[in-house]
Amino acid sequence: MTLALNSPLIWCSLLLSAWGAVGLAGLIRPTSVIFVGRTLFPLGALLGVALACVAGANLSAPAQQLVLPIGLPDLPLHLRLDGLSSAFLFLLGAAAAGISIFAAGYFRQGEGTPPGLLCLQYHLFLASMGFVLLADDAYGFMLAWETMALSSYFLVTAQHRIPEIRSAGFLYLLIAHVGAIAILLSFGVMQGGSWQFTFDAMRGAQLEPAWAATAFLLALFGFGAKAGLVPTHVWLPEAHPAAPSPVSALMSGVMLKTALYGVLRVTFDLLGEPQWWWGLILLALGLFTALYGVIFAAAQTDMKRLLAYSSIENIGIIFSGVGLAIVFAGTGMRAAASLALIAVLYHALNHAFMKSLLFLGTGAVLHATGERNLGRLGGLIHRMPWVAWLTLVGALAIAGLPPLNGFVSEWLLLQSFLFAHELPRPFVNMLLPLGAALLVLAAALAGYVMVKFFGVIFLGQPREASLRNAHDAGLAERIGLAWFALACVSLGLFPTYVVSVLSRIIQPLGFSGLEPDDRSWWLLMPLPQRQASYAPLAFLTVILVVVVVTIVAVRFFYHQRVRRSEPWDCGFGRLNSRMQDTAEGFGQPIRHLFQPFFAMQRELPTPFDPAPRYRVVVGDRIWRGAYLPLGALVRRVADAVAWVQQGRISTYLLYSFVTLVILLALML
């Protein structure tokens, strides 16, 4: 196949390779923060912008393929760029640009791994995520997938001297590999006896329905483990907080989306015609994950763990949308399926930006205060106004409030749930609309979580004296935060444009797409016949006009006298910052209401205790109920097998002898 040199596919691969080169350049002076931080990371950010531009310009272009003669003999590397991979490459590039520019000011000396090595791992991570999206054969895909897992493992364990971080990294690596095995097996099923592992061969393979379902379920397990679907979510709240904040942002914002990409690629492209009941499984898993994630997020006291659980929630929302799209596509409801899939892609894009913004915000807080525990923060809006206000944008967006972006995708998803009663299947068409109830419950709880997150960190009085010396983020970090805040606002204000682009992307996957009313660019009307419309710009305009008019009117008619005084303390007189509500207190209604979800351990002091201490540990029932017994079982089996290792040479010689005899017996 001949390809012009200026094709977007070549540009994308070159840009991804350039990331690798930037990473390698970090090894030139691995301990120099100036060189790595001020030169290499901004360079990586520029490459991210370039990648986003190239991929963004290619969103509706036809698919291109390329065969690179690299790799094992007779196994060249196949690359392919189509609308779906362009969309995810755009996400990768745009998110990486903001995170890299933030990271330029973030990484400092003395944080475990030297900066040069971090730079290599970081850029390898970026490049491998890109190649996951470009790969067009199983070998290339698995190679990039494994590179992604390994490089991110090293990034998670950047502070490898802390035992908790090492064990978090181990758990991550373990589940990543169990998932990878499932993906590999899924590819093995999908080649359908042709033993050709290119994606083209898989597209052409005719699978029995049972085998197609097997391939789908294996892929769902494998990619679900990477995405953090319950019950394979346990690594996520351990690994994401353990990593340095820019890496957490990259993992939550981008890496989880590669798992979404994998599911979409396998289901709608490689397997072709999905069966509708696959969607039910995904929908149930997704909704449960969303609810589970957000309930645990509300109970957390560590700000990065809270965000990690919130990522689980959003992944749940995204996968429930995929499930809905599969159900609709499998029953021939093309328009509804398109709407659901557009909502999924929109939410994936939104979540990449919102969650990166929030994780970077926690990174800035962590640097300024050295504290991750919500119980020791507070009042930072006075000390760190830039970080606080920019983070507020992300918090409002992820809480799903109009006119920001999180609302648009949830709105689209709810609109597609309204089609569920038209399904030509009895019972299912009555059960599915109830899924919307769970979805809105999760979305409303997200608002609770975000008020807790923002309120406890940035508002109120500082809970520790040391917080009064906190300093605002530096210039590079502010640019990174502002980049994502701008993305959140613009994705929220111009949904019509985004929806029409996404609509063109999904058409090659066998979807009809939507025909939004292009005449009114400010009014989002995905389905004119349903008479549902939403105009965020008009929203924002009216709110702003009313705010300005009210302020001017109040000043004009009355006065603007303000007197400052101490807060009202009901005459108590000794109000201090420790009397504020804590993060535990804020989570208390949730712990009370959703008690069955938690495995709680409470330690109550006796009334006569001279030094009373109240402790509550909120644990994960799935971890205790499934993982610990499983781990114990593995250990017992390993112990039993270890009996073979007697440590005497004569025994091992006997093993060899017996093996030889058995082999000879089999041969003869």
Partner 1 sequence: MTAFDWIAQTLGIVGSVAAAPLFLGWVNQCRAWLQNKSAPPLMQPYRGIRKLFYKDAVIAANASPLFRLAPYVVFAAMVTAAAIIPSIATRLPFTRAADAIALVGLFATARVFVSLAAMDVGTAFGTLGARREMMIGFLAEPALLMVIFVAALISTSTALPAISEFLATQTLALYPSLAFTAVAFTMVLLAENARIPIDNPATHLELTMIHEAMLLEYSARHLALMEWAAALKLFNYVCIGLALFVPWGLTTQHAPFALVTSALLLGAKLLIAGAGIALIETVSAKLRVFRAPEFLATAFLLAVLGLLVHLLLGA
Question: Does residue 519 touch partner 1 according to CB under 8 A?
Answer: no
Show contacts with partner 1 in window 48-87 (CB under 8 A).
none
Q: DSSP letters of 343-409?
A: HHHHHHHHHHHHHHHHHHHHHHHHHHH---BGGG---HHHH-HHHHHHHHHHHHHHTT-TTSHHHHH
Compute the least distance from the CB of residue 437 to partner 1, in Å.
6
Answer for which of 21, 551, 628, 634 binds partner 1 (CB under 8 A) is: 551
Question: Does residue 600 touch partner 1 according to CB under 8 A?
Answer: no
Closest CA to 254 of 356, 324, 341: 356
Compute the least distance from the CB of residue 1 to partner 1, in Å.
48
> The tokens of 159 are what?
């502070």
Answer for which of 162, 490, 569, 612 binds partner 1 (CB under 8 A) is: 569
Compute the least distance from the CB of residue 467 to partner 1, in Å.
12
Question: Does residue 407 touch partner 1 according to CB under 8 A?
Answer: yes
Question: Does residue 544 touch partner 1 according to CB under 8 A?
Answer: yes
Question: Does residue 402 touch partner 1 according to CB under 8 A?
Answer: yes
Nearer to partner 1, 557 or 643 (CB): 557
Rounded to whole angstroms, how far apart are CA atoms 56 and 51? 8
Enclosing H/E stretch for 602: strand 598-603
Nearer to partner 1, 63 or 540 (CB): 540
Question: Does residue 561 touch partner 1 according to CB under 8 A?
Answer: yes
Compute the least distance from the CB of residue 283 to partner 1, in Å.
17
Nearer to partner 1, 381 or 599 (CB): 381
Indicate the SS3 state at residue 657: helix
Compute the least distance from the CB of residue 172 to partner 1, in Å.
31
Show contacts with partner 1 in window 429-488 (CB under 8 A).
429-430, 433-434, 436-437, 440-441, 443-445, 447-448, 450-452, 454-456, 459-461
Nearer to partner 1, 272 or 433 (CB): 433
Nearer to partner 1, 53 or 418 (CB): 418
Q: What's phi and psi for 602, nearest 5 deg?
A: -115, 140
Nearer to partner 1, 69 or 573 (CB): 573
Question: Does residue 557 touch partner 1 according to CB under 8 A?
Answer: yes
* Residues near 60 by beta carbon (within 8 Å), at least 6 away in sequence: 83, 501, 504, 505
Answer for which of 195, 556, 568, 643 binds partner 1 (CB under 8 A) is: 568
Kindly indicate which of the ranges 284-292, 399-407, 636-644, 647-655 contains the residues binding partner 1, using the contact rule CB under 8 A.
399-407
Kindly indicate which of the ranges 115-123, 137-145, 542-550, 641-649 contains the residues binding partner 1, using the contact rule CB under 8 A.
542-550
* Residues near 578 by beta carbon (within 8 Å), at least 6 away in sequence: 463
Answer for which of 194, 466, 469, 550 binds partner 1 (CB under 8 A) is: 550
Rounded to whole angstroms, how far apart are CA atoms 259 and 261? 5
Nearer to partner 1, 5 or 562 (CB): 562
CA–CA distance from 175 to each of 200, 227, 340, 469, 528 (Å)?
Answer: 29, 11, 29, 41, 45
> The tokens of 112 are what?
């475990």
Answer for which of 37, 169, 400, 480 binds partner 1 (CB under 8 A) is: 400
Closest CA to 626 of 64, 5, 175: 175
Rounded to whole angstroms, how far apart are CA atoms 342 and 505? 9
Answer for which of 161, 564, 613, 648 binds partner 1 (CB under 8 A) is: 564
String of contacts with partner 1 for each residue 377-396, x by CB under 8 A: -xx-xx---------x---x
Answer for which of 70, 210, 465, 562 binds partner 1 (CB under 8 A) is: 562
> The tokens of 474 are what?
């530096």
Asked whether 400 and 350 are in contact (CB, 8 A), the reply is: no
Compute the least distance from the CB of residue 386 to partner 1, in Å.
13
Question: Does residue 526 touch partner 1 according to CB under 8 A?
Answer: no
Nearer to partner 1, 31 or 550 (CB): 550
* Residues near 593 by beta carbon (within 8 Å), at least 6 away in sequence: none
Nearer to partner 1, 19 or 411 (CB): 411
Question: Does residue 14 touch partner 1 according to CB under 8 A?
Answer: no
Closest CA to 406 of 443, 359, 455, 437: 443
Asked whether 474 and 364 are in contact (CB, 8 A), the reply is: no
Rounded to whole angstroms, how far apart are CA atoms 106 and 119? 12
Answer for which of 547, 604, 660, 662 binds partner 1 (CB under 8 A) is: 547
Answer for which of 14, 27, 162, 579 binds partner 1 (CB under 8 A) is: 579
Indicate the SS3 state at residue 69: coil
What number of chain residues touch partner 1 (CB under 8 A)?
A: 80
Compute the least distance from the CB of residue 230 to partner 1, in Å.
20
Answer for which of 161, 519, 574, 592 binds partner 1 (CB under 8 A) is: 592
Over the range 425-460, which residues count as b (16 or more CB within 10 Å of their CB) and which as e?
eeebbeebeebbebbeebbebbbbbbebbbbbbbbb
> The tokens of 605 are what?
């002091």
Asked whether 303 and 365 are in contact (CB, 8 A), the reply is: yes
Question: Does residue 593 touch partner 1 according to CB under 8 A?
Answer: yes
Show contacts with partner 1 in window 339-378 (CB under 8 A).
378
Nearer to partner 1, 557 or 614 (CB): 557
Compute the least distance from the CB of residue 275 to partner 1, in Å.
24
CA triple 378-379-383, angle to 5 deg: 125
Compute the least distance from the CB of residue 561 to partner 1, in Å.
5
Amino acid letter, residue 424: P
Question: Does residue 6 touch partner 1 according to CB under 8 A?
Answer: no
Compute the least distance from the CB of residue 426 to partner 1, in Å.
11
Rounded to whole angstroms, how far apart are CA atoms 589 and 581? 12
Rounded to whole angstroms, how far apart are CA atoms 525 and 514? 10
Rounded to whole angstroms, how far apart are CA atoms 168 and 236? 9
Compute the least distance from the CB of residue 453 to partner 1, in Å.
11
Nearer to partner 1, 434 or 604 (CB): 434
Question: Does residue 535 touch partner 1 according to CB under 8 A?
Answer: yes
Question: Does residue 616 touch partner 1 according to CB under 8 A?
Answer: no
Rounded to whole angstroms, how far apart are CA atoms 587 and 444? 15
Compute the least distance from the CB of residue 452 to partner 1, in Å.
8
